[in-house]
Chain A
Amino acid sequence: MRALLFFVTIFYVNEYVQAVRQIPDDILRGNHTNNWAVLVDTSRFWFNYRHVANVLSIYRSVKRLGIPDSQIILMVADDMACNPRNPRPATVFNHRKQHINVYGDDVEVDYRGYEVTVENFVRLLTGRLFPGTPRSKQLLTDEGSNILVYLTGHGGDGFLKFQDSEEVTSQELADALEQMWQKRRYHEIFFMIDTCQAASMYEKFYSPNILAVASSLVGEDSLSHHVDPAIGVYIIDRYTFHALHFLERVSPDSMKTMGEFLAVCPKQECISTVGVRRDLFPRDPHKVPITDFFGSLRPVELGINYLNVSIALPLTENTIRPVKQEEKYHYAQQFPTHLFQTRAT
């Protein structure tokens, strides 16, 4: 029976190997083995609704393109979806015509509210977390990981504010990324930032294999896109709005490249100038598929050598049956009635 099974397996493998040969070379060229995303919204308060919509737009796209929730670290500093001011609870929209509910029905926020701090962010990147931190709050990357880092919030020349009370500077961020490189925690990083004077945040980077894009140059403000009168606040920023527009037309098997993505939102649409830093990135962005960072396509090589995997048998009745305990259990008393009876006069 087992021999027959192996026959069947080999037959299928043969067919797959033929299919693999048809996959374009571009897909196989990337050397990464897994994809991660760190998506951070650093602003609290209702009037910063747009920053939450920004981060959820990117979350929606990477999830749609195949990065599982276990490999997305989503940090959202405030709750907009279930905020009492939201006229449609449990939704966050990217457009006043309510095209896309970027919050969705299947969202997992890993760090939220007061947990979004500079300390937690840097600890997450560098992997220096407290013992007992659950897996969903860890960036368990290795030297084969391509990481998408997306930050949005309020920033200035050389800093990004967290929760309106503290800030991370560009030097701190550059050092954190360098520490990641030294610890072999990434293969390549695509760094995206949508804040005012965003380009100032990537200027200090000095670690290899980082491609960075910013919504505005130093000295420029990043602007919001439009107001939803039903919500009463600006609902999304210009750069991310156009980035989402671009990403919505990307499918997991699409051949779009990072070069095309870097050209998103020209000056007449964004009003600010989109800044790009590519000197640390050895590959030509026009030859890098966008799914290298936004999706989770893995180069799979099928071999015809089979491994002998022995499957652990389910525990049978005899092994798990504990020694019969003759001690009797009973339901605990729920209310100390006796105390009242003895002490009350």
Chain B
Amino acid sequence: MVYSKNDWNKLLKMVCFILVPFWILNVGQCLVQKDRFDEELLLKPLPSGHVYAYFQFTTVWDAPSGPQMFQHCHLFPRALGEVAGRHNVQELHVTLTEGLWRYEYWGFPVSDAAPGAELWTWFRNDTKDVDNIWKKLTGALSGLLCASLNFIGTPNSLSPEYSFRPTGVVKNSNLNSSFVRYATLPREIVCTENLTPWKKLLPCDSKKGFASLLNAGHIHNTNYHSLGLHIRPVCKDAKCTEVSIELRQTVSLVYDMMILGFQNQDWSLRKLFGLGLSGPCPLATSSFIYVDVTSNETGTPYQLQPEPTEVITSIRGGYESKFKVYNIQKMSFTHMLNIVATYSTPKVYAVNVPPVLYASRYIVGYGQERGGIVTKIHNNHWKHLDIIYLENIPWFLPIYLHTLRVVAGGKEITPILKKYVPGKERSRPYSLEVLLRIPARSVTEIYIEFDYVFLKWQEYPPDANHGFYIGSAIISAYLPVGKNYMGLPQAGPTIYSSFNASREGFLLQLRTESLIITLPTPDFSMPYNVICLACTVVALAFGPLHNITTKRLCMKDGNSCNGLLIRLKSMLFKGRKPQAQAH
């Protein structure tokens, strides 16, 4: 029997029709996936006229424990999972940030980050040689995120005792801070090359869903942008005898609507991100956009178009906030969704009401021998607040603990506890944790002195005159009120879980400005200059000396001191007498 090509094609099509459904069924049976993915976007106009956009992509995975843990991934990014699995990571928090969050004007963010790169990790209790594995982890992450995280190592890492507790679940309460590492790279630049690999970790990449709003051009023109990756173990169920792995990918953006050239305060998805939303990520369990409309009741109101699917009132820590909710999965998409906020009257700026707690930091002193760092912490609460102050000083800036002074309202405060780990040149930074009770309605000033030191010639970077960065100080507090607080509750991974999540206290971590100092920098062209100068001096000295020692001055008189030519002539014509004399 001979089949023509057409017959083959028909047969092939038939076979496909029969086989394909079987395959799909088969695959569906084998891979019982136990992970969920939620995408959320929170939009909030800030009292200062800025617009805060916070994206959060949460993947929760009932991962099998054991060595094969990250070998079979579904929605969880395997590249990141392998890095975490191989390096014995229990919790991992990476943020890459450009700009500084202005607490005084913007309130508190959902997720806080220090300028530049910040990385902190809890390793599992059975980890041996934490320093070594930390170095390898930073190297692997630098490859994954295209950032220079490989510059993090033991010489610039701290193990804070109180400031960084695991945010996820643990087995026993006796936590050993030798398994935590914290480091910052305040100078790290964040650009598209970091956003690209970050987006590739998402299940839908940037093709579909909220991540399609993240376009480089509209992210890097903001006043503040921060990328974050947070991995932690969470309870699998209410019993909490097993754990799931939670990965939170966050982007925080603050747009200044005035300088973006739109002339007015109105904003929309298209104005902020360059394009509208084309639909949810098909792999997402839920897709929500929340717009914070709390300020409509006190400030200039704005209208939203289209109408939201739901309105949520959240009471948290005694303060009420209102959110308009768009359930993207329940909306039909005939064209791109563009949420537009329009102000009916020109926006009136009220007097800024700063949040309960904020801080600022600066360098004092003059000259290039010694200086000081001052951190001012403002407490606007009616009651005293308990805070932890963590100072992270690089080894090339030796600080003196005896100069530590904490003054509030002209009165010196004795810290409740101080934990100081002195630095060591080229191997360990200076770490100082101070537990303080700061009085009500006060400004507390923390002052410490340091020395400027010389580095070795090779240790100066190529642009040494730019200056050297000192990472942010971190102020942790347990706020008794929920005003301005937008952080997520510890047990809840999504923004949704933060609604009506009243607790007895709210953990807040503030990051201060990073500082830049000018270390005494040698003149790198000095060897060249020395060579030039030395050669000039030698040449100047050699010439006259040579002349003096080899020549002698004499009167020009025919017999004793003839010129060279005449002497040569006389040597050549020794035999003959000059004719002139023959006469």
Tell me if B437 and A340 are in contact (CB < 8 A): yes
User: Among the interface residues B148, B171, B197, B462, which one has the most CB atoms of the partner chain A within 10 A?
Assistant: B462
Residue of A nearest to B236 (CB): A329
Interface residue A301 (Cβ < 8 Å from any Cβ of B):
no
In the complex, whether A132 has a CB less than 8 A from a CB of chain B is yes
Is B144 close to A, CB under 8 A?
yes
Residues of A within 8 A of B505 (CB): 335, 337
Which chain B residues lie closer than 8 Å to A114 at the CB level?
148, 151, 461-462
Task: Specify which chain B residues have a CB less than 8 angstroms from the CB of A89 in the assembled complex.
Answer: 217, 220-221
Q: How far is the CB of A197 from chain B (nearest CB, A)?
A: 20
Q: Given A91-B217, A107-B192, A108-B196, A339 and B417 touching (CB < 8 A)?
A: yes
The stretch of A209-217, A260-268, A285-293, A313-321 that contacts the partner chain: A313-321
A344 within 8 A of B: yes
Stretch of B65-73, B442-450, B536-544 contacting A (4+ beta carbons < 8 Å): B65-73
In whole angstroms, what is the CA distance A164 to B151 when docked?
20
B435 CB → nearest A CB, Å: 6
CB-CB contacts of B151-193 with A at 8 A, as 1s and 0s? 1000000000010011111110101000000000000011111
- Residue in contact with A333 in the complex, picked from B140, B144, B173, B192, CB distance below 8 Å: B173
User: Contact residue range for chain A?
Assistant: 35 or more
Complex CA distance for A115 and B219, rounded to whole angstroms: 25
Question: A105 touching B192 by the CB < 8 A rule?
Answer: yes
A258 within 8 A of B: no
Whole-angstrom CA separation of A107 from B417 in the bound complex: 47
CB distance from B480 to the nearest CB of A (A): 11
Q: Which chain B residues numbered 423 to 463 have a C-beta less than 8 Å away from chain A?
A: 435, 437, 461-463
Question: B193, A134: Cβ atoms under 8 Å?
Answer: no
Indicate if B240 sits at the interface (CB-CB under 8 A): yes
Q: Which of A59-79 contact B (CB under 8 A)?
A: 79
B151 to chain A, nearest CB (A): 7
Residues in B whose Cβ lies below 8 Å from that of A331: 168-170, 235, 490-491
Q: Which residue of B lies closest to A322 (CB)?
A: B65
A165's nearest neighbour on chain B, judged by CB, is: B462
Determine the chain A residues whose CB is within 8 A of the CB of B146 once the complex forms: 108-110, 112, 136
A330 interface residue (CB < 8 Å to B): yes
Structural contact, A336 and B435, CB atoms closer than 8 A: yes
Measured between C-beta atoms, what is the minimum distance from B66 to chain A in Å? 6
Within 8 A of A (CB), among B183-224: 189-193, 196-197, 215-217, 219-221
Are B168's CB and A112's CB within 8 A? Answer: no
- Taken residue by residue from 104 to 130, chain A's Cβ proximity to chain B (1 for < 8 Å, 0 otherwise) reads as 111111101111000000000000001
Please state if B136 and A90 are interface contacts (CB–CB under 8 Å).
Answer: no
A322 to B32 alpha-carbon distance, docked (Å): 16
Residue of A nearest to B138 (CB): A132
Partner of A327, one of B171, B219, B478, B507: B171
Q: Is B241 an interface residue (CB 8 A)?
A: yes
Nearest-Cβ distance from residue A195 to partner chain B, whole angstroms: 17
CB distance from B189 to the nearest CB of A (A): 4
**What residues of chain B lie closer than 8 Å to A321, measured between beta carbons?**
64
The answer to the question of B287 belonging to the interface, with a C-beta cut-off of 8 Å to chain A, is no
B386 at the interface (CB under 8 A from A): yes
In the docked arrangement, what's the CA distance between A163 and B173, Å? 49
A8 to B16, CA, bound (A): 9
Give the residues from 58 to 88 in chain B that come closer than 8 angstroms, CB to CB, to chain A.
64-66, 68, 72
Q: Which parts of B123-157 form the interface with A (CB within 8 Å)?
A: 135-136, 139-140, 142-144, 146, 148, 150-151
Look across to chain A and name the residue whose beta carbon is closest to the beta carbon of B415.
A343
Query: Is the Cβ of A334 less than 8 Å from the Cβ of B507?
Result: yes
Could you tell me the distance in whole angstroms from the C-beta of A47 to the nearest C-beta in chain B?
13
Contact of B171 among A1, A329, A343, A344 (CB under 8 A): A329
User: Which B residues touch A110, using CB under 8 A?
Assistant: 143, 146
Contact partner of A82 (CB less than 8 A), chosen from B173, B189, B437, is: B189
The answer to whether A97 has its CB under 8 Å from any CB of chain B is no
A133 at the B interface (CB under 8 A): yes
Q: Chain A's nearest CB lies how many Å from the CB of B143?
A: 2
Partner of B148, one of A113, A322, A327: A113
Q: How far is the CB of B155 from chain A (nearest CB, A)?
A: 15
Of A82, A165, A322, A328, which is in contact with the most chain B CB atoms at under 10 Å from its CB? Answer: A82
Chain A contacts of B168 at CB under 8 A? Answer: 331-332
Knowing A313-B30, A328-B241, A332-B167, the reply to whether A132 touches B148 (Cβ < 8 A) is no
Give A269 to B218 CA distance when docked, in angstroms.
37
* A19 shortest CB reach to chain B, Å: 14
B31 at interface by CB-CB < 8 Å: yes
Complex Cα spacing A5 to B171, Å: 51
* Residue A298 is within 8 A (CB to CB) of chain B in the complex: no
Cα–Cα distance between A135 and B318 once the two chains are bound (Å): 51
Question: When the two chains form their complex, are residues A314 and B193 in contact, meaning their CB atoms are under 8 A apart?
Answer: no
A90/B220 contact (C-beta < 8 A), A82-B191, A164-B462, A343-B416 known: yes
Cβ–Cβ < 8 Å partners of B1 in chain A: none
CB proximity of B173 to chain A, nearest CB, Å: 7
Residue A16 CB within 8 A of the other chain: no
Q: How far is the CA of A86 from the CA of B317 in the complex (A)?
A: 43
A135 to B98, CA, bound (A): 27
A45 within 8 A of B: yes
Question: Is the CB of B349 closer than 8 A to any CB of chain A?
Answer: no
Given contacts A314-B30, A333-B165, contact A88 B240 (CB under 8 A): no
B548 at the interface (CB under 8 A from A): no
Is B95 part of the contact surface with A, judged by Cβ < 8 Å?
A: no
Within 8 Å CB of B140, what residues of A? 132, 134
Residues A327 and B241 in contact, CB atoms below 8 Å apart: yes
Q: Is residue B242 contacting chain A, with contact meaning CB distance below 8 A?
A: yes
> Sorted from nearest, which 10 A-B pairs have the closest CB atoms?
A134-B143, A82-B191, A89-B220, A163-B462, A320-B64, A329-B169, A90-B216, A165-B462, A90-B220, A132-B136
What are 26 A-B contacts with C-beta separation under 8 Å? Answer: A1-B22, A82-B190, A90-B191, A106-B192, A107-B193, A110-B146, A131-B136, A132-B135, A132-B139, A135-B143, A137-B142, A313-B30, A320-B64, A320-B66, A320-B68, A325-B241, A328-B239, A329-B233, A329-B241, A331-B491, A332-B165, A335-B165, A335-B477, A336-B435, A340-B437, A344-B437
Beyond A90-B219, A105-B216, A131-B136, 10 additional contacts (C-beta under 8 Å) are: A79-B191, A88-B217, A108-B196, A112-B193, A132-B136, A314-B31, A329-B235, A334-B478, A339-B435, A343-B435
Chain B residues within 8 Å of A, Cβ to Cβ = 8, 12, 15, 19, 22, 30-32, 64-66, 68, 72, 98, 135-136, 139-140, 142-144, 146, 148, 150-151, 162, 165-171, 173, 175, 189-193, 196-197, 215-217, 219-221, 233, 235, 239-243, 386, 388, 416-417, 435, 437, 461-463, 476-478, 490-491, 505, 507, 524
